[in-house]
Structure 1
Amino acid sequence: MISNLEMFPNEILLNVFCYLSWDEILIYLGSLNKRFNSLIYSIFSNNENRIIFNKPDLSYQTFSSILLPLILNSSSFLSSKIKYIHFDGITINGMFKQLLSQIFSGQCQLTSRHLYMTKLRYAIHQCLKSYPSHLPLTTNSNELQSYCVSLRRLHIQLEYTCFLEHLIDRVPNLEQLSAVFSQLRCGDQLRDSNFQRSILSNESWFNKVPKLKCFALKSSIDNYLEFVYLKWLLNNFNHITKLKIYVRGSGISRTGQLIWKSVIDVNFICQHCLLDKIINLKYFHFYIGRTCELSLVNIENTINSFKNYPFFISHQCTNIKYLYDKNES
């Protein structure tokens, strides 16, 4: 039976939609039929500024039970149009943990995702910790609900690295990963002697993300231990073919001054920013920024050090540029 609303032509329906908020459109009209879904997608696609869910009475319960399933089960196009979501009142940590657990589970059918967690607490970054280490060789349908098998591309901004470590266990078919940190923060882990010993051990995440080909990381680094952690992280991805590293000294931590006084030459890059065991790596791009004073002779020697190193010669990565900005040094 056709409702009165469905008797109107598309032009009138689109005008009616203009009087509704984004969340109202999805909540009340998002699952009616293919015609309304098509109209809704056309509205989203025509909005160049991306979508904001900021209705004053939008509760987390409504979002979790109605909006989130619509977003997770739609194409990645729908989620890419969302700029941010605001819940009414005070949202407790448990809500964020539940939301993130749903996003990185079998409930989600998205293939591409951007996620920003730069203002969330350390406890929330730990929300995926309790899951098993990687996808078993044989799984039943219930076990697969704990894994987001559809996700192929992920760009993520984080405060703490632990979320990235636990996330790897949830996305077995991931192909491209880009991670941005304001700093390589590991909570209290870097000050723990057991953790320091663990990051010095060899490990590979090939069994967890065997299809991962591209990894990019951008972060500030203050001290030697954070460089050790960076090296450990990169060695876990020793099966990738494309690596991009953007690292900069923040100039805040005194404990990091010694390592940042080192010459940033081929030896520094190989020791701190390149895989120990190179298996499939074909493309390597890096940017290292720091505050320093450097003579022209040092610059020439630094560039020549890459031209004489076997890995950079064989991979045609000898086009090294050393940029000096006197305003920042």
Structure 2
Amino acid sequence: MSKLEALPNEILILIFCNLSWFERTISLWSLNARFNFLICLTFSIDENGIIFNQPGLSYKKCYSGSFPLISNLSTLSIASFVRHMHFDGTNSNVCDLIHKLLFHNNFGEGFHYPNLKSLVVSECLLSEPLIKSLSWLIENQLYKLTLSFEKVGKQTVMLKKFINKLFSRQNQLVSLRLDIANGMCDIDIHQCLSLSSYPYSRVIFNKRESYCLSLRYLHIHLIYTCFLEHIIECIPALEQMSVNFKSSMNMEPRSTTDIETLIKSNGTWFDKLPKLESFSLKTLICDALQFAYLKWLLNNVNYIRKLKIRLGGNEVSNETTTIWNLLVDANFIRQYCMPDICKNLTNFDFYIAFKCELLSVNTEKIINSFKIHPFFIDRQWTNVTCFFDPILSYQHLSSSIVNQLQFYNGLRYYPNFSTWPYIRRISIDLHPSIYSLLQRFDQLFPNVWYIKVNMIYFRNGDESDRSAQLRVLFETERWNLINIQLSYVTRLDFGFCSKCLDGSCDKSIDRNKTRAKMLACLISMTVQLKYLIVENFQWLLHAVQYASNELKNNLLLTVQYAEFGVASCHRGSNESISVGKNLVPFLSTYVPHLQTLRLWRPDDFPWTSIRPGFKLDCRYAALLTQWLDSLITPQSIAQHVTIFQQDLCQLAEELKELCFLDIYGAIHREKVESYHSMVKTCFPNSQIYIGISRFRLWI
């Protein structure tokens, strides 16, 4: 008997639960009957089922190894123990295969996981098979569903029908987390529960049979307020509701007059949501109308026991009538942030952060206002936290007692400060005093794993004093900066990859050098960097060119996920369009263990250009127009298929561990089928998605 086998079952289960589902099934299954049974038990533990959300899981290994094993209907089948699944589209096309993984034949026939109760589907592309699978699952199988789509595209009608089903009697879910804010700006989606959207279904909607009678817990991320008002008509058994607006409460398409009429109505939602006990709201408040709507909303849930609100205000207004210009104290909270009647309220959790003038902030007076206010005294809600951020000019006010934050020039906090000292993500606006922050970073932020660096002072054309000061900093302190270690940071974002590159090259050598040294210095501080996101891939080439001492060959060996913006291969200078040809050589040299690569392109998917060189003279515009017009000809399409094939094959050959390539771009519809045929031939054992704006290859 080995030492591992000598361990008791309880210890072995803990060990197995710390392995991924893939490692458990491939490495330990069939060693002996006892291990098989314990592995099955781990799959029955909540949130410990089959999970696809990490880089490095290849399509080949899954389909040749784990999928057949888990679907095996033997006497001791793993599939019958699985209670939870998580499919995430960030590092694979697995969301496109959900219907094949769950069902043997048609939807609802030969379902492999009889005890599956919880499902998470995130960052997925909408498709008809996916919607059919989800529709069957919410009607027949699941208790809990978490769902977020990355992009809807032309599937709006299908999605609207599915959302209607989510809030109908056909849905048997008890808990639902739904994100319709990410990539779903179409207001029709938010209006899909409105009676006016379905005139032929008006009779059905007026009957109680259309209600969802099982749903108890709802967390929704949305854009428009109309959707919130519609769903409360459909979920009479709801006990807990959490509402998160993408930014502020968008009241379109209704007019200001419509909203003013609505908020004058009295009453509550008790007849519609009689079992509601807890309500949570997170939003920005931008004007007096939104404050009035907030008050109307809170008065409608004035019978609840628990209330949690997170409010923010971004801008300082010169208008004396702006509510944010009032003193935000106990009186303010009672008047604007709570229901008028609170007879059942036993738990009130609030956090407010808004931009204001320093002269208007008297933190001691604000704190004392809760200690003398009768309402808060009676309920013993007098221990609040209030302080002012002098760097960003924000007042923070919370019902929780938390430690004072540390403020530095250029430092921003992603989440609200009530998570201190457990903040996980921060943002940095580079400032000359950033050196003092970085020196103490591990001490101040032992829980931060993600830093986003604002690159505004390093983009083309910036000649501000800040840019010059940063140049001096990274010239004079670069060796001290290199010696700093960010022991816990695993992700660095430099700018926004979704920002379309205009095809111009930065001609400022000083700025390119400073930016290169800044990138190299910050990257060199990390000890276990796994995720690297860079707005412009050319910045990394500059780092190799101007900061080779700082950017050593082994610096990026730990990176598994990379995301870059790559300039157009059609538009721009000759230098700009040729940047992409350096992509694979750079990755194979500096990031050889890369598993997921995501590229943002302003146009075609190939990153190597075949455009002839054009001089930037009076003939450039005419030559470029002629070139762009030629891109839809059969000859041009064939040439681009060939160069794309070369790009893909070189990438797969040089990066042996690469499992997933994801490209955002824009191509002519005529190219879709040609690209698909080529990729299918070159990568026969793979999962492919190709559209006019997206290319996804899981190998």
What's the TM-score, normalizing by structure 1? 0.78
State the distance in 2 between where 1:199 and 1:129 align. 19
Structure 1 residues 324 and 154: CA distance shift in structure 2, 3 A: same
1:68 to 135, 139, 143: 135
State the distance in 2 between where 1:69 and 1:85 align. 21
Aligned counterpart, 2:88:
none
State the distance in 2 between where 1:252 and 1:299 align. 18
Greater relative contact order (CA < 8 Å, ≥ 6 in sequence): 1
Contact preservation (8 Å) 2:148, 2:179: no
Aligned counterpart, 1:17:
none
State the distance in 2 between where 1:299 and 1:6 align. 64
Contact preservation (8 Å) 2:103, 2:110: no
Tell me the amino acid that sits aligned with residue 24 of structure 1: K
Structure 1 residues 111 and 64: CA distance shift in structure 2, 3 A: same
Aligned counterpart, 1:264:
328
Aligned counterpart, 1:98:
161
Tell me the amino acid that sits aligned with residue 123 of structure 1: D
State the distance in 1 between where 2:302 and 2:348 align. 12
Aligned counterpart, 1:304:
368
Query: How far 1:243 sits from its partner (Å)?
Result: 0.5
2:170 to 107, 117, 136: 107
Query: How far 1:187 sits from its partner (Å)?
Result: 0.6
Contact preservation (8 Å) 2:316, 2:356: no
Query: How far 1:262 sits from its partner (Å)?
Result: 1.1
SS in 2 for 1:218: strand
Query: How far 1:173 sits from its partner (Å)?
Result: 0.4
Aligned counterpart, 2:233:
169
SS in 2 for 1:75: coil
2:243 is the alignment partner of 1:179 = yes
What's the TM-score, normalizing by structure 2? 0.39
Aligned counterpart, 2:298:
234
2:113 is the alignment partner of 1:37 = yes
Aligned counterpart, 2:514:
none
Query: How far 1:263 sits from its partner (Å)?
Result: 0.8
2:206 is the alignment partner of 1:130 = no
State the distance in 1 between where 2:124 and 2:104 align. 16
Structure 1 residues 244 and 6: CA distance shift in structure 2, 3 A: closer
Superposed CA offset, 1:162-213 (max 9, x none): 1011100000000000000111111143x43243133023221000000000
2:270 is the alignment partner of 1:210 = no
1:117 to 176, 180, 185: 180
Aligned counterpart, 1:135:
none
State the distance in 1 between where 2:387 and 2:266 align. 34
Aligned counterpart, 1:26:
102
Contact preservation (8 Å) 1:223, 1:253: no
Contact preservation (8 Å) 1:200, 1:228: no
Tell me the amino acid that sits aligned with residue 365 of structure 2: N
Tell me the amino acid that sits aligned with residue 176 of structure 2: R
Contact preservation (8 Å) 2:178, 2:219: yes
Superposed CA offset, 1:121-167 (max 9, x none): 21211111219xxxxxxxx9x94441111000010001001101110
SS in 1 for 2:322: helix
State the distance in 2 between where 1:263 and 1:218 align. 21
Structure 1 residues 244 and 31: CA distance shift in structure 2, 3 A: same
Tell me the amino acid that sits aligned with residue 175 of structure 1: E
Aligned counterpart, 1:323:
387
State the distance in 1 between where 2:276 and 2:251 align. 23
Contact preservation (8 Å) 1:231, 1:272: yes
SS in 2 for 1:323: strand
Describe how 1:183-198 pairs up with structure 2 within 5 A.
183-189=248-254, 191-198=255-262
Contact preservation (8 Å) 1:244, 1:286: yes
SS in 2 for 1:243: strand
Contact preservation (8 Å) 1:230, 1:273: yes
Query: How far 1:267 sits from its partner (Å)?
Result: 1.6
State the distance in 1 between where 2:134 and 2:274 align. 32
Query: How far 1:112 sits from its partner (Å)?
Result: 0.3
State the distance in 1 between where 2:372 and 2:263 align. 30
Aligned counterpart, 1:137:
none
Superposed CA offset, 1:42-87 (max 9, x none): 9x88xxxx556968xx842x3444442123422324x34x665878
2:275 is the alignment partner of 1:199 = no
Q: CA RMSD in A?
A: 3.3
Tell me the amino acid that sits aligned with residue 76 of structure 1: Y
Unaligned runs of 5+ in 2: 1-70, 81-93, 197-203, 394-699
Query: How far 1:313 sits from its partner (Å)?
Result: 0.9
State the distance in 1 between where 2:227 and 2:244 align. 12
Structure 1 residues 24 and 320: CA distance shift in structure 2, 3 A: same
Superposed CA offset, 1:244-279 (max 9, x none): 111000228777982211110112111210111222
SS in 2 for 1:245: strand
State the distance in 1 between where 2:275 and 2:150 align. 31
Q: Which has the higher Rg, Structure 1 or Structure 2?
A: 2
Contact preservation (8 Å) 1:27, 1:67: no
Query: How far 1:301 sits from its partner (Å)?
Result: 1.2
Identity percentage over the alignment?
39
Contact preservation (8 Å) 1:176, 1:215: yes
Unaligned runs of 5+ in 1: 15-19, 132-139
State the distance in 1 between where 2:384 and 2:273 align. 31
State the distance in 2 between where 1:253 and 1:97 align. 39
State the distance in 2 between where 1:198 and 1:13 align. 51
Structure 1 residues 91 and 295: CA distance shift in structure 2, 3 A: same
Tell me the amino acid that sits aligned with residue 126 of structure 1: Q
Consecutive aligned runs of 4 or more in structure 1 exceeding 6 Å deviation: 11-14, 252-257
